[in-house]
Amino acid sequence: QKEVEQNSGPLSVPEGAIASLNCTYSDRGSQSFFWYRQYSGKSPELIMFIYSNGDKEDGRFTAQLNKASQYVSLLIRDSQPSDSATYLCAARLSGGYNKLIFGAGTRLAVHP
Amino acid sequence: ETGVTQSPTHLIKTRGQQVTLRCSSQSGHNTVSWYQQALGQGPQFIFQYYREEENGRGNFPPRFSGLQFPNYSSELNVNALELDDSALYLCASSPDSSSGNTIYFGEGSWLTVV
């Protein structure tokens, strides 16, 4: 069973702090990894994807990938109350089509 | 705004009925995939369509079926609805079938089965 695991949270951080969200995956054949943000009652919104080892930065967001440890993380700098949402980590498997395996998500709460 | 549109946004069906959900993909995207997201869980892959053919399927029974049309829009059909089919159904489009790193979801269709 190919799995993606995330802590369910909630992860509570003060406004302005760095939020660190983590994810592990079981299938070493996974090719790329995605972070989605999902507000309550809404559909997932793509934040960023990463497929090479190391860091990838986009504005206040940094994704980190360590394929040897099968570990993906998302850092959110200068967290804002509007970042309060569930963050979904997903792995895209090899195999010729765009099947994403999702974790159950981590709930982030940013308090003023 | 992802350019992926889904309809209807909300619907209520009775157990045993059939439902059809619709999706229009982003312009230029020839691949559509469908996901089911139950409350408190991550989305689960149902299947993918590429150029009108199903080319990948998750662990869902045959009563979940689909179509893709020449304009790349798609339908998800669910027969013999069960209470556990109550979920958010998400459509995602991508530029191609096997190397997509930009996979965008529509707003989803909320299905309640009573």
Give, in order, the Cα–Cα distances in Å from A49 to each of A34, A74, B17, B98, B109.
Answer: 4, 10, 38, 15, 25
Residue of B54, B60, B94, B105 best to disrupt the A interface, most CBs of A under 10 A: B105
Instruction: Give tens-digit pLDDT for A74-103.
Output: 999 999 999 999 999 999 987 667 789 999
Which residues in A lie closer than 8 A to residue B45 (C-beta atoms)? 99-101
Considering only alpha carbons, which residue of chain A is nearest residue B100?
A: A98
pLDDT at position B98 over 90: no
Give the model's pLDDT for residue B27: 80
pLDDT band at A60 (very low <50, low <70, confident <90, very high): very high
Q: Which of A2-6, A40-44, A82-86 has the weakest average pLDDT?
A: A2-6
**Is residue B75 a contact partner of residue B63, using CB atoms and an 8 Å limit?**
no
**Is residue A5 a contact partner of residue A23, using CB atoms and an 8 Å limit?**
yes
Give, in order, the Cα–Cα distances in Å from B98 to each of A1, B28, B75.
Answer: 21, 15, 20
Cα B8 to Cα B30: distance, rounded to the nearest angstrom? 22
Measured between CA atoms, how close is A96 to chain B, in angstroms?
5
> Read out DSSP for chain A?
---EE-----EEEETTSPEEEEEEES-TT--EEEEEEE-TTS--EEEEEE-SSEEEEETTEEEEEETTTTEEEEEESS--GGG-EEEEEEEEPSSSS--EEE---EEEEEE-
pLDDT at position A5 over 60: yes
pLDDT band at A21 (very low <50, low <70, confident <90, very high): very high
Amino acid at position A51, single letter: Y
pLDDT at position A45 over 90: yes
When pLDDT is averaged across residues A2-23 and rounded to a whole number, the result is 94
Tell which residue, A14, A38, A100, A30, has the closest CA to residue A72. A30
pLDDT band at A59 (very low <50, low <70, confident <90, very high): very high
pLDDT band at B99 (very low <50, low <70, confident <90, very high): low
Give the model's pLDDT for residue B26: 82
B4 or B96, which is more confident? B4
Which residues in B lie closer than 8 A to residue A36 (C-beta atoms)? 105
pLDDT at position B2 over 90: no
pLDDT band at A1 (very low <50, low <70, confident <90, very high): low
Which residues in A lie closer than 8 A to residue B102 (C-beta atoms)? 46, 49
With b meaning 16 or more CB within 10 Å and e meaning fewer, what string describes B6-38?
beeeeeebeeeeebebbbbbbeebbbbbbbbbe
- Does residue B8 have a cis bond before it (omega within 30 degrees)? yes
Which residues in A lie closer than 8 A to residue B43 (C-beta atoms)? 44, 88, 90, 100, 102
Instruction: Give tens-digit pLDDT for B16-75.
Output: 999 999 999 888 888 899 999 999 999 999 999 988 999 889 999 999 999 999 989 999
Amino acid at position A59, single letter: G
